[in-house]
Structure 1
Amino acid sequence: MDLAYIPSPSSGVIDLGPIPLRGYAFCIIIGVFVAVWYGGRRWVARGGQVGTVADIAVWAVPFGLIGGRLYHVITDYQLYFSDGENWVDAFKIWQGGLGIWGAIALGAVGAWIACRRRGIPLPAYADALAPGIAFAQAIGRWGNWFNQELFGKATDVPWALKIDADPGTATLAGTYHPTFLYESLWCLGVALLVIWADRRFNLGHGRVFALYVAAYTVGRFWIEYLRVDEAHEVLGLRLNNWTAIVVFLAAVAYFVLSARRNPGRELVVEPAAVVGPVEGPIDGADDGADDDAPKAAQSAGSVSTVKKPREPQKSGRDGEAPRDGEAHDGTPRDGEAEAGEAAGAEASNKT
């Protein structure tokens, strides 16, 4: 008899009157909200504009959901296209089944399109969003708890997850490793690691995102070993294990190459946030200064100044510099004029 375990919900749907609230979809939505909210704060702290992260997310999130579902359906096609299965179920995303690999890959395509339209470097945007994505994954994994899916091997540890019998998947009632919980806690740790490393080492040019990817894949690799759900295997390893290895190596390679080619952090992450029409005199320039001159950059340590143009020198004759004793308009200076008048008076007295 198990004295302690984590209970599973009897149903993955909570009825709010006539509106069914599905636990899986609810966790995904909350995760997206947290990622956009926290990513927006980091973006503004880096010198970007308020609302930019949310605007780009309008492109990235739909692309990510489509990519995540496509990866799941392609890698687990037998669940939808085998004999006796209904291919329409491939569109029932609320029943679970989003591959993080496809979600990140196609979500990045959507973000790239939106960033390109705004003239924003995608690596800077990815860096701002990286820890928020890890937080979103930590929240989203609880959707698997609502659906009683993606659990691990049978166990009797005190934190084991109680699963009901499911004749459709030949699952026996019992207690299993809560892999959803392991991955949720791992993602929280990844988010904190990324935040600390970003502050400690002043990472930039996509290296924050690369660190997130590398750290996540390490945890995903060992968690995959505990899962007992059906999956394709290659050379004795689950497909997601091989994906984790490839993605980990790619992330580490990018991190190293980026550090060599672009050390430090971007000075400007959103050009529109630091360049615009001048609204008043800058650095002592008067109202006649060029109204289209750029403002002084107020973020990322960038400084820009606008100097007042010099006035052209005047001379007594066109194209000639003023002679000694003459003002710029060709007339003698005040002191020298008085000396000339005194000399002329003395000369007339002598005559």
Structure 2
Amino acid sequence: MNLLNYITWDVNPEIFHVGFLSVRWYGLLFALGFVIGQRILSKIYVTEGRTEGDVDVITLYMIIGTVVGARLGHTLFYAPDYYLSNPIEILKIWEGGLASHGATIGILLALWLFSRRYKFDYMWVLDRIVIVVALGGALIRLGNLMNSEIFGRPTDVPWAFIFVRNTEFSQVPRHPTQLYESLSVFLLFVLLYWLWNKYKEALPKGLLFGIFVTALFTFRFLVEFLKENQEDFENTMALNMGQILSIPLILIGIGILVKVWMNPKPALPGGRIAVAPSGK
């Protein structure tokens, strides 16, 4: 291995702190995902006949669904014994521990509740929200890079990173899997936004959501082969937890795409739900 072929990554995860208050890159990028996403979603909703007020409400549902889902996903999927024995630790989100698969489940549930409460077509909501979720996912993976976490296995590729601040693994060049995922999800955001911008209401219902779920979790499944396992128990598994959790989501995405291909139907304008005529 030529040790000259690597990038030394020694970025401080903390931007600044004042007293007990610490502002970190991860938190800033996490928040930017919601801020920028809200502006993009506002454009989408207004263009299709909804209001910015709808976006304000759905953003609140999204924040709660993302944070609660990601935290519970981490506690249940990666360390259930510890957190069930120490339930108060679940609340300490600032100490880290968020799972993207849990966030996905939390978002799906939150948006179902939103759609039911405010009379939206659920799939129309999902088709639009995945555009901004993709952008948010790209920013979160950049946050992981700033934290020097969720990195890859040793490699001799010329773009390998040595993560100096992670003292346990600081001497070996590794795949910057955070960048792989961030770039792939950003490209997915570009594709989804382009499709919406070109076709808008003519898009078959479920197409954007199906593309998003299939592409995102297929790449997640594949990139896991380059990653270090997050928990020790995964070292004895043929597939790690991230891959196992990705498989059902990939199948759901493929199922939706097949359904769209066999019977493409556009949603009602503005994501309104169909109301059956009343009997006489």
TM range (shorter): 0.7 to 0.9
Larger Rg: 1
Match in the other structure for 1:187: 185
Match in the other structure for 1:174: 172
How many Å apart are 1:118 and its aligned residue?
1.6
How many Å apart are 1:224 and its aligned residue?
0.6
Match in the other structure for 2:63: 61
How many Å apart are 1:250 and its aligned residue?
0.8
Counting aligned pairs with the same residue, the percent is 25
Q: Per the alignment, do residues 93 and 41 of structure 1 end up closer, same or farther by CA in structure 2, a change over 3 Å counting?
A: same
Distance 2:146 2:88 in 1: 22
- SS state of the match for residue 158, structure 1? coil
Q: Deviations along 1:87-109, whole A, 9 cap, x unmatched?
A: 65543323432212111211222
Report if aligned partners of 2:148, 2:166 keep a CA contact under 8 Å in 1: no
Q: Deviations along 1:21-54, whole A, 9 cap, x unmatched?
A: 0222111111122222212211222222223122
Report how many aligned residue pairs link the two structures: 266
2:154 pairs with 1:154:
yes
Q: Per the alignment, do residues 207 and 64 of structure 1 end up closer, same or farther by CA in structure 2, a change over 3 Å counting?
A: same
Report if aligned partners of 1:24, 1:96 keep a CA contact under 8 Å in 2: no
How many Å apart are 1:4 and its aligned residue?
4.4
| Structure-2-length-normalised TM-score | 0.84
Q: In the alignment, residue 71 of structure 1 is paired with which amino acid?
A: G
Q: In the alignment, residue 54 of structure 1 is paired with which amino acid?
A: D
Report if aligned partners of 1:24, 1:95 keep a CA contact under 8 Å in 2: no
Give unmatched runs, 5+ long, in structure 2. Answer: 274-280
Q: Deviations along 1:211-254, whole A, 9 cap, x unmatched?
A: 11111112111111111133454861112112222211111102
| Structure-1-length-normalised TM-score | 0.68
Distance 1:164 1:225 in 2: 23
Q: In the alignment, residue 127 of structure 2 is paired with which amino acid?
A: D
Distance 2:159 2:89 in 1: 32
Distance 1:81 1:69 in 2: 11
More RCO (CA 8 Å, sep 6+) = 2
Q: Per the alignment, do residues 6 and 35 of structure 1 end up closer, same or farther by CA in structure 2, a change over 3 Å counting?
A: farther
Match in the other structure for 1:12: 13
Q: In the alignment, residue 53 of structure 2 is paired with which amino acid?
A: G
Distance 2:265 2:77 in 1: 38
Distance 1:224 1:250 in 2: 20
Match in the other structure for 1:241: 243
Give unmatched runs, 5+ long, in structure 1. Answer: 272-351
Q: In the alignment, residue 15 of structure 2 is paired with which amino acid?
A: I
Q: Alignment RMSD, CA only?
A: 2.7
Q: Deviations along 1:159-201, whole A, 9 cap, x unmatched?
A: 222213656xx43433211110000000011112223344369
- Greater share of residues in helix: 2
